[in-house]
Amino acid sequence: MRNWFTGAAAAAGLVAFGLAGCSDGGAATKVAQAQKVVIEGKSVTASGCVRPVETTSCLVVKGRGGGYYDISTASPAPDPSKGVAISMQGKDQGKNTECGRQLTDVTWSYLNIQCGAPSTAASTEKAEKKAG
């Protein structure tokens, strides 16, 4: 009887230890890690005008949600001075830079769409003076 009680207690301890690893905390952590892996490496497609970011060497394209994609890793890089929009694809690895969401493995092609000149504070003030 004594051996049976010791064996049952040991088995109950192993079951409790095993279930502790399956608690919500462990499962939640594993789900969060799985979601992180899914988010990172996500394929991104966008079209728009390439803009250089002042005081940096970044090139960006505005995304659908209004945020910017940093496509500085593109090689060869699109030429913003051409004033032509691009269609591009890249991988979102989950990293933000000072210029926007960094994309890797960027491929792109020019579209037959002309981009307007980027507006600056000085050009806006001149236009307002002419109108007023």
78-88 pLDDT, tens digit per residue, is: 999 999 999 99
Say yes or no: 28 and 61 in one domain.
no
Asked if the structure places residue 130 within a domain, the reply is no
Q: State how beta strands 59-62 and 51-52 pair.
A: antiparallel
Say yes or no: 79 and 110 in one domain.
yes
Say yes or no: 93 and 31 in one domain.
no
Cα distance between residue 1 and residue 24, in whole Å:
36
pLDDT of res. 105: 95
Q: Considering only the C-alpha atoms of the chain, give the largest distance between any 2 of them, rounded to a whole number of Å.
A: 101
State how many domains the chain has. 2
Asked if the structure places residue 30 within a domain, the reply is yes
Say yes or no: 70 and 20 in one domain.
no
Q: Look up residue 46 and give its two tokens.
A: 């966008």
Asked if the structure places residue 129 within a domain, the reply is no
> Residue 85 sits in which domain range?
42-118
Buried b (16+ CB within 10 A) or exposed e, 30-69: eeeeeeeeeeeeeebebbbbbbebeeeebbbbbbeeeebb
pLDDT of res. 26: 54
10-residue mean pLDDT profile of the chain (132 residues): values are 49 46 51 49 93 94 91 95 95 93 96 79 40 48
Query: pTM value?
Result: 0.59
Asked if the structure places residue 77 within a domain, the reply is yes
pLDDT of res. 127: 42
